[in-house]
Structure 1
Amino acid sequence: PEGVKVGKQRALVADRLTLKAIMVSAATGKIEQEIKLFEVEKPEPKHALNSYASPTAVIVDNFVYCHFGTYGTACVDRETGKVVWTETTLHCDHQNGPGSSPVLFGDLLVIHFDGRDKQYLAAIDRHTGRVAWKTDRSGRMHDNNDFKKAYGTPLIVESNGVPLVVSPAADWVYGYDARNGSEVWKAHYGQLGFSTVPCPVEWKGKVYISTSYMKPRLLAVDYSGRGDVTESHVKWVSDKQAPSKPSMLVVKGRLYIVNDKGIASCLDAESGEELWKARLSGEYSASPLHANGFVYFFGQNGTATVFKDGPTVVEVARNQLDEGFMASPAVSGNTMFLRTEAALYRIDQK
């Protein structure tokens, strides 16, 4: 972006924005292509901690699907760099910039659009870019439009033979039929919950939701219900150390969490009982990662802390990079890719 002025809470962009897909060689780190996808005149303001390219891309076969919220979605052939299609009809007022990532169900990309002005989710045909279905949120929300927005990413699960989109939004988490977008169930958070960021995770018939702001709350919801399941299918609730931005991680019935202030904890996923807790260095936005029996946490101050996966706290290593982590890590085989505020790193197993 050009013409940027940064205030206490939001970065105001006064001129124009170019949104790109960048192809980097996994072997060498060399930038091989920069593909211009959208030119935006006078984009909306965003939060100082956010970017206009926060949503995570989806790769299927030879195609990369890049989503930029209200500014559009694009399909790129990753062999040729050709833009196959763009979709620019789905809009909302993010207020703080885009944050929701698409997820794949069959040939559909399912995406949240929870803005101040309108709240819905939609599915885009990945071959054509056409909107396959679109469903408005049904739950009653706060009268203040600032409390209606969310930045969550859905999760696809299966219940009773139905593919479900588990979809956290402001004040409610929903279950939709992924095939047509029809609402199957919804559950209220039990308190105000908005600007929801963490992606749900699943374990043995339950999904785990963090409500983000004002005060984050953690809920375990049985996703087999129908209708309003607030009273019947919310299995436990915890108001301790829930994250506002990082997603959670579940491994063998252990739920790993790091909140924004750097408190890492491990809960029993079945009961919500805390198994251990540890104070990490700095603040956190990136989500934890599990690989090869270890759990990794990446801080905004550049600290990477490694724990052994298990019911007791065992810190294995603590490493430091010069720049901080906002993005979550990615793994391919025994290789880890880390994106800091200034660089992209490839870390290989020794």
Structure 2
Amino acid sequence: MFSKLPFVSLMAALLCCQFTAAEDSLPWPDRNGPTKDGFVDEVNAKGLPTEFNVATGENIKWKTPLENLGNSTPVIGGGKVWFTSATEDGAKQWVYCIDANSGEVLHHKLLFENEDPEPLFNDVNTYASPSCVLESDAVYVHFGEYGTARLNPETAEVEWQRRDLKCRHYRGPGSSPVIFEDLLILTFDGASHQYLTALNKTTGESIWRTDRTTDYGDLDKDGNPKREGDLRKAFGTPGLLKVGGKTQIISIGSRAAYGYDAMTGEEIWKIRHANFNAATPPAFFENLVIINTGDRNAHTVAIEVDQTTKGDVTDTNIRWDRVKGNSRLATPLLIDGRFYMVTDTGVAICLDAKTGEEIWKGRIGGDHVASPIYANGLIYCFNVEGDMIVIRTGDKFELVSKSRLPSGMRASPAVADGKLYLRTFEHLYCIGK
């Protein structure tokens, strides 16, 4: 009746027996991995190193210098690594394609030029923050309102593009695309527009669009925003959840979170919350949807969802609510009934996913934007200062190792064939034994 797509548990993610040969060649097709939850499957986790040393070259397979800026996470398929970059002012936006084995740049393709990009109004985001998503026959590239395109994965040629999906992002785009069946689902939560839309992934044609029904509570008596942009802004990438035989899009926006019908875009349910700038995707445990509501005062909230969940369920379906000490930017991990998260300021926390009760917390240090990943019973965390911190899962905090790169990272890691692919501010690194 209720299951996470495509798998509900670690065991299912590791066994993974439904993958086709084409899917096997896509070890990291999404910013959060093949199962969209930060899990590295058993095949690709085999031999994954827990430490490295740049000075001595230990476990450094190669590094490739990068031009311009970008926070988009690398995605990997067919022996190639894909990600985006942009000039600091957003005037030009590229896609990179790098050979996963050698680090050779195969394509560095200019996709979009923008005459007058809106300033970012912050020093964290970039004009290349949404991540690509892969299929065996396509690379989908997204820069928010600046452009979306489908590329041929062999040639990097553009098969279709859209530049007419409008949204004043205010602090820049951040939401990545999601694939569901024949649809490419995009999220726009900006100052001027707040909506989800689905495109035909083969043609780029619009299939549906659903505007948020949120009461942002940000207008003065004359109908003007009290605080320009922020109170309507979010950066989140949705999750997909099967409920009662139908797939829902679980999407967290400013001031509210929603369940939508994935095929039609119809709003099914919502909860109201008090925050904005939501950035992490939802997690799923048993009959709970666990969300982070956004800004520095963010809550972590567990919502009970089943096929009877309809309308505004704020007052009826919230099962637990952690009001402080939560992850805001780094995506949490849900492992064996434990909910692991890392705060912006480098505190790792373990909760009971069913109750929200805190089991432990421990300081790992640094500022955290990149999302952690899970492999071989270990959680790999990455901070803006350049540290990779490995901790062990379980009922007590245990630090395993710490290694440092010469420059930091905000892009999340990717994994393929026992190797880590880490995008720092200056290079793409391949870390492997």
Partner SS, residue 69 of structure 1:
coil
Do 1:175 and 1:223's aligned partners in 2 also have CA atoms closer than 8 Å? Answer: no
Q: 1:43 to 1:206 in 2, by over 3 A?
A: same
Deviation of 1:15 after TM superposition, in Å, equals 6.7
Which letter does structure 1 place at the counterpart of 2:247? P
* Structure 1 residues 85 and 303: CA distance shift in structure 2, 3 A: same
Q: Which residue of 2 aligns with 1:61?
A: 136
1:156 aligns with 2:231: no
Match of 1:296 among 377, 380, 389: 380
What SS does the corresponding residue of 1:345 show, helix, strand or coil? strand
- Unpaired stretches in structure 1, ≥5 consecutive residues: 5-12
More moved, 309-318 vs 164-173: 309-318
Could you say what secondary structure the match of 2:230 adopts?
Answer: helix
- Which aligned runs of 4 or more in structure 1 are off by greater than 3 angstroms? 13-16
How far is the alpha carbon of 1:128 from its aligned partner?
0.4
Tell me whether 1:36 sits opposite 2:118 in the alignment.
no
Give me the TM-score of the superposition, normalised by structure 2.
Answer: 0.76
What is the match of residue 305 of structure 2? Answer: 223
Aligned to 2:91: 17
Report the residue type matching 1:216 in the other structure: A
More strand by share: 1
Deviation of 1:240 after TM superposition, in Å, equals 2.7
| Pairing 1:327–2:411 present | yes
Q: Give the counterpart letter for 2:425 in structure 1.
A: E
Whichever residue aligns with residue 136 of structure 1, its letter is: D
SS of the aligned residue for 1:147 comes to helix
Indicate whether 1:78 and 2:153 are aligned.
Answer: yes
Give the partner amino acid of 1:66.
V
Structure 1 counterpart of 2:288, from 199, 206, 215: 206
Counterpart in the other structure of 1:124: 199
Deviation at 1:161, TM superposition (A): 1.0
Instruction: Identify the residue that residue 282 of structure 1 maps to in structure 2.
Output: 366
For these two proteins, the number of residue pairs brought into alignment is 338
Calculate the TM-score normalised by the size of structure 1. Answer: 0.93
Give 5+ residue unaligned stretches, structure 2.
1-68, 70-86, 219-224
**2:115 corresponds to which letter in structure 1?**
E
- Write the deviation string for residues 97-151 of structure 1: whole angstroms up to 9, x where unpaired: 1100111111111111011111111111110011111000012112144301111
Correspondence for 2:180 among 105, 125, 128: 105
CA deviations over 1:300-322 (Å, ceiling 9, x no partner): 11111111111211111111111
Contact 2:254 2:294 in 1 (8 A): no
What CA distance in whole angstroms lies between the structure 2 residues aligned with 1:124 and 1:45? 27
Shift of 1:282: 1.2
Q: Does the CA-based 8 Å contact 2:88-2:127 persist in structure 1?
A: no
Q: RMSD of the TM alignment (CA)?
A: 1.8
Are 1:76 and 1:84, in contact at CA under 8 Å, matched by a contact in 2?
yes
Contact (CA 8 Å) 2:254, 2:277: kept in 1 or not? yes
Q: 1:287 to 1:70 in 2, by over 3 A?
A: same
| Highest RCO, 1 vs 2 (Cα 8 Å, sep ≥ 6) | 2
Structure 1 position 49 matched with structure 2 position 124: yes
- The amino acid across from 1:221 in the alignment is I
Percent identity, please: 39
On the 8 A contact 2:90/2:127 being kept in 1, the answer is: no
Tell me which residue corresponds to 1:27. 101
* Residue identity opposite 1:26 in structure 2: A
Aligned-pair distance for 1:16? Answer: 6.0
Q: Distance in 2 between matches of 1:42 and 1:183?
A: 34
d(CA) in 2 for partners of 1:255 and 1:291? 15
* Match among 314, 324, 348 for residue 264 of structure 1: 348
Contact 1:15 1:42 in 2 (8 A): no
1:89, distance to aligned residue in structure 2 (A): 1.5
> Structure 1 residues 222 and 16 mapped into 2: Cα distance closer, same or farther (>3 Å)?
closer
Q: Which moved more, 1:142-151 or 1:323-332?
A: 142-151
Q: How many angstroms does 1:62 deviate by?
A: 2.2
